[in-house]
Amino acid sequence: MKQNQPAWEISPGLTDYESALAHMRARVEAIHAGEAAELVWLVQHPPLYTQGTSAKPEDLQDATRFPTYKAGRGGQWTYHGPGQRVAYVMLDLSRPHGSVPARDVRGYVAGLEHWVIETLRAFGVKGEIREGRVGIWVVRPDGREEKIGAIGVRVSHWVSWHGLALNVAPELSHFTGIVPCGISEHGVTSLQALGVKASMADVDAALRHNWSKIFG
């Protein structure tokens, strides 16, 4: 395996969130100790809300709808659920990865954003970034901006964990229990809502194909 190529895992079904946190913590420690390879882990979760370190309590608008978890990552409130591809990325950021310099967290977040943009391009969707709004956005023909991908990361011992969530075909009404990422003036969308017929396997293949464009 090339030094810059992480292992890839795809978990079938729905992955329990607390189990995912425990698995990531263990893998991060192992990567830091030089005992495990870097990892890109693709999962789906049952419906739930996660609270980032900047989340405002009032942005959880329906606390009884789904389970809530403190994620420990950066960012605000996020929804996870079936039909959404979550990519947990565990890299040793003390060294460079492709276009991402060593020990550059902002550069790493930008790398995740561009990875999603390149993946969306494979399905004919133009993803965009906005100053002051982390995540990936699409512009509707009427000018409305809607979020299709969320990003929230944590770095421990210069090893990254958490990652991104890309809306493939989730139930978009589930997002109404929160103010997603603290942004109330814009909505959320998905590949399905944009009229793109893509399976989760199609999206996974595009993620894998476009990885090396960003991370080497």
The Cα 107–Cα 111 span in angstroms is 6
Give, as one character, the DSSP assignment of residue 180: G
Could you list the active site residues?
Answer: 181
Helix axes 105-121, 200-215, angle to 10 degrees: 130
CB neighbourhood size of 173 (10 A): 7
Element (H, E) at 151: strand 145-156
Is residue 154 within 8 A of residue 74, CB to CB? The reply is: yes
Question: Going by C-beta distance under 8 Å and a sequence separation of 6 or more, which residues neighbour residue 215?
Answer: 4, 91, 97, 98, 99, 100, 111, 115
With 0-12 CB in 10 A as exposed, 13-18 as middle and 19+ as buried, what is 195?
A: exposed
β-pairing verdict for 7-10 and 39-43: parallel
Question: Going by C-beta distance under 8 Å and a sequence separation of 6 or more, which residues neighbour residue 58?
Answer: none
Locate 199 and state its tokens.
């399976």
